[in-house]
Amino acid sequence: MDYGLIGEKLGHSYSKDIHEMLADYTYTICPLSKEEFHPFMEKHDFQAINVTIPYKQDVIPYLDSMDDNAKAIGAVNTIVNKNGHLEGHNTDFSGFLYMLNKHSISVEGKKCVVLGDGGASKAVVAVLKKLGAGEIVIVDIIKTESAITYEECFEKHTDAQFIANTSPVGMYPKSDASPVDLTRFPNCEAVADVIYNPLETKLVAQAKELGMIGVNGLEMLVAQALYAVEFFLDTKLDEAKIDEVYRKIYADKAAENEA
């Protein structure tokens, strides 16, 4: 393939529709098992690809170079093949930053809780640091050097003012799940969920019900795709295209869900 997306389970992906609205190429959705992943990367028979769960860190050993953003985050979601030289980038950072700015979500000086500790989490944490978050608490199902458990979060950090969900909890087809009950976070002002399918997760719906700002991940997805296309084609696109494509995809998917 020339351009496309690799990941393990991609049945929920909207990336083909988005990329083909943003650029004049065919974008291939390429699910890879863990056994298929390594031969694919060794062969690197592509011009440029996006990378999603669970391979955003696994691709790094195959790269010849990474930009500063990707190095700082330690995860890659965009790879460009320049005559066999593989360059790694991270456009999740710019996509999440766009989403916060679009919805006027301020995190400066605030306590922020990030649910999940994978590749997307690292990009989100990097954005929060850039924006001057007061404290960043990473939460995962297993305690690690970088993350605490949900139990510890509920004991010590229910005063959080911003919550970002980077875990897969609530993603289609298990859309009825939510990683946390927001009534336990009375000081929370805004919630951003990087999940984009369903169009509104249970977590975001609850945030809105409680009077918080609640934002799903579709805008971030479209924004990071636009920034990826810029790397793919070595070009510059008008950022206004993000909102245009977002509105079209949202309307199309909403209509499909009603059908």
Which positions are annotated as active-site residues? Answer: 56
d(CA 85, CA 100): 33
d(CA 193, CA 25): 29
Structure tokens, 35:
């056994």
The DSSP output letter for 142 is: S
Handedness of CA 64, 70, 75, 77 (dihedral sign): negative
Closest CA to 126 of 92, 157, 79, 150: 92
Helix (H) or strand (E) holding 230: helix 218-233
d(CA 33, CA 171): 20
φ and ψ at residue 114, rounded to 5 degrees: -115, 120
Closest CA to 164 of 122, 198, 199: 122
| Per-residue CA distances from 34 to 37, 41, 236 (Å) | 5, 11, 34
d(CA 91, CA 226): 9
How large is the angle between the packed helices 218-233 and 240-258, nearest 10 degrees? 130
